[in-house]
Amino acid sequence: MLNASLKELAGALAQKKISSVELTQLFLNRIEKLNPALNAFITVDAQKSLAQARAADERIAKGGTQPLAGIPVAHKDIFVTKGWLTTCGSKILSNFTGPYDANVIERFNGAGAVTLGKTNMDEFAMGSSTETSFYGPVRNPWGQAYVPGGSSGGSAAAVAARMAPAATGTDTGGSIRQPAALSGLSGLKPTYGLVSRYGMIAFASSLDQGGPIAKSAEDLALLLNVMAGFDARDSTSVERAREDYARDLEKPLAGLRIGVPKEHFGEGLAADVGKAVEAALAQLEKLGAKRVPIGLPSSGLSVPAYYVIAPAEASSNLSRYDGVRYGHRAKEYRDLADMYRKTRAEGFGAEVRRRILIGTYVLSHGYYDAYYLKAQKIRRLIANDFAEAFKLCDLVVGPTTPTVAFKIGAKAADPVQMYLNDLYTIPANLAGLPGMSIPCGFGKDNLPVGLHIVGNYFTEAKMLNVAHQYQKATDWHKREPDL
Amino acid sequence: MPLSLDEVRRIAELARIGISDAETRAVQGQLNDIFELIGRMQKVDTEGVEPMSHAHGSALRLREDKVTEGDQREQFQSVAPQVEAGLYLVPKVIE
């Protein structure tokens, strides 16, 4: 059961081979056993989860046929969850109980899924290693001295260690795809606007997008079917007809044009990652895809532009944490301004403070044109690169990350080195395009390698089709860490 | 041009984040490294490029001007650091 696909779990529940209560308890036991070492969860509440499981069992007994009914799903602690502690990995929200449900949580609840705890993450999703969490670093199940990636590292470690069948994440610069790659999982960042941001604690609003992390592309499709959809409470939610993201999974790949950007295979790409990705491209060709060389000439500017745009938006979004309406407030202060200064100095960790300072500076008087406007122009160039590429190919394929997982502490003291982890994933966020990562082999120290797939706007069904066909021909996604 | 210690202090004050002298020095070095990375943007000619603020260029939706949210004051104030009689309490700002 721990290794079962969502479809298999749904089948077992429908045929009464197992109840949702039993299934939930199974995963709770696994969490109890493994979480003390891995630190993937910030909050586990067996009573709440089991109450939801009992309700799901009643629905199933009455003949309910929703595909995720009764299946436990772990949620990144960025999603506000009614009655659950919701910290966003920060001390400043260490006492914040969700007064309402995020749209993503509402949707999973509506589908009858069981909330299996809240997962650890980089503070306010700012990080690529889950080391910036106030609640301590998460360990990679494939090697506990290594990071699981970030910022959705708790979700990735939970699924990789089979402490959860699936989990939610969010991706502002790679925070679903990078941990999926480093933890041997499948992860999908949908087209910007597909999943509602209502109740998803804001980092950089023009880039933030929620999505699933799971063991296979097929599971991702079922999860996206629940997560995606218009929500009037998110001003950038897109209004589109509902679609079934699993509809094209079985289509053959003959004639598919996969674009391979030379910029993502150059300097900086580790040999072990490059080798696994090359083998995956060969496998896709074997399945009928045609390889097309493409260029993403502005791709190299994506990290600099991102580190203007994301901190600028973050400095504005995080101004709400002032110790007045919710969250931590400093104990002693002289006056209101002193209360703000102390509350924010105590409540935010070093990386979050750093990004607020960058954002404050680039938006300050006299610097706007040189930084923010310049970055927005580069953002346009990056989006234009993709528009040109998609005239030649259906999907852009390459490595998700330049290296396999690095050791905990290895990059923590050097922000620039940490930021460069996301150089292949950030362009999709800047352009608003859907991106995913699927396992495609192992590199040094037997650590997983991820294959990055970027599609044109709203082509998630096509991307999932390609990933599923690849996973039918390979078994990388079925490997599990020895725990 | 690298940021001076005074500039770092000024930014921290604008962001309302208290910062010690020792921290100011550490942060100065890190911010200057990051701005060196960001500075790579300046080498590119972006003359005439339309800035992109958002993935989907369309105008924001408008909604009807009617009340959609109920009164949830008590629930929202239940997570506040200090409230009294339905009001958020802060240090005195007017003498």
- pLDDT at position A298 is 96
- From the CA of B94, how many Å to the nearest CA of chain A? 10
Q: Which residues contact A69 (CB under 8 A, 6 or more apart)?
A: A10, A13, A20, A56, A59, A60, A111, A112, A113
Subunit contact B55:A193, Cβ cutoff 8 A = yes
What is the chain B residue with the closest CA to A312? B15
Q: Which of A329, A356, A370 sits opposite B17 (nearest CB)?
A: A356
Between helix A350-362 and helix B5-14 the angle, nearest 10°, is 90
Cα A323 from Cα B82, distance rounded (Å): 9
A346-357, pLDDT tens digit by residue? 999 999 999 999
Going along chain A from its start, the domains and CATH numbers come out as 6-255 (3.90.1300.10)
Q: Is the pLDDT of residue B57 over 80?
A: no
Can you give the pTM of this predicted structure? 0.97
φ/ψ of residue B66, rounded to 5? -140, 155
Pair A227, A114: CB distance under 8 Å: no
DSSP code of B72? -
Where residue A268 falls (left for φ over 0; alpha for ψ -120 to 50; beta otherwise) is left
Looking at residue B69, its pLDDT comes to 85
**CA pseudo-torsion sign A90, A95, A97, A99:** negative
Nearest Cα residue in chain B from A231: B61
Contact A166, A68 (CB under 8 A): no
From first CA to last CA, the distance across chain A in angstroms is 16
Indicate which residues of A carry an active-site annotation. Answer: 76, 151, 175
A300 to chain B: which residues are within 8 Å by CB? 40
CA atoms within a 13 Å half-sphere pointing along the CA-CB vector of A465:
19
**Chain B residues 26-65 with CB within 8 Å of chain A:** 27, 30-31, 33-42, 44, 46, 49-56, 60-61, 63
Please check whether residue A374 touches B, CB under 8 A: yes
CB-count burial class (<10 Å; 0-12, 13-18, 19+) for A425: buried
Instruction: Inspect the interface and report whether the beta carbons of B46 and A377 lie closer than 8 Å.
Output: yes
ipTM of the complex model: 0.95
- Which pLDDT does position B93 carry in this prediction? 84
Rounded Cα gap, residues A363 and A469, in angstroms: 46
pLDDT of residue A267: 86
User: Tokens 């949620």 map to which residue?
Assistant: A75
pLDDT score for B94: 80
pLDDT at residue B95 greater than cutoff 80 = no
pLDDT at B59 over 80: no
A265 within 8 A of A298, measured Cβ to Cβ: no
- Which residues from A are below 8 Å from B80, CB to CB? 324-326
State the Cα–Cα distance between residues A88 and A121, nearest whole angstrom: 7
Contact A357 B11 (CB under 8 A): yes
Residue B60: per-residue pLDDT: 77
The CA distance from A160 to A178, in Å, is 14
Beta carbons of A308 and B54 less than 8 Å apart = no
Pick the CATH number of B5-43 from 1.20.120, 1.10.20, 1.20.1070, 1.10.287: 1.10.20
Q: Between chains, do A304 and B41 touch, taking CB under 8 Å as contact?
A: yes
Low-confidence ranges of chain A (pLDDT < 50): none
Residues on chain A touching B14 (C-beta within 8 angstroms): 360, 364
Q: What gap in Å lies between CA B56 and CA A236, rounded to an integer?
A: 8
pLDDT per position as a tens digit, A308-331:
999 999 999 999 999 999 999 999
Residue pairs between chains A and B whose CB atoms are closer than 8 Å = 161
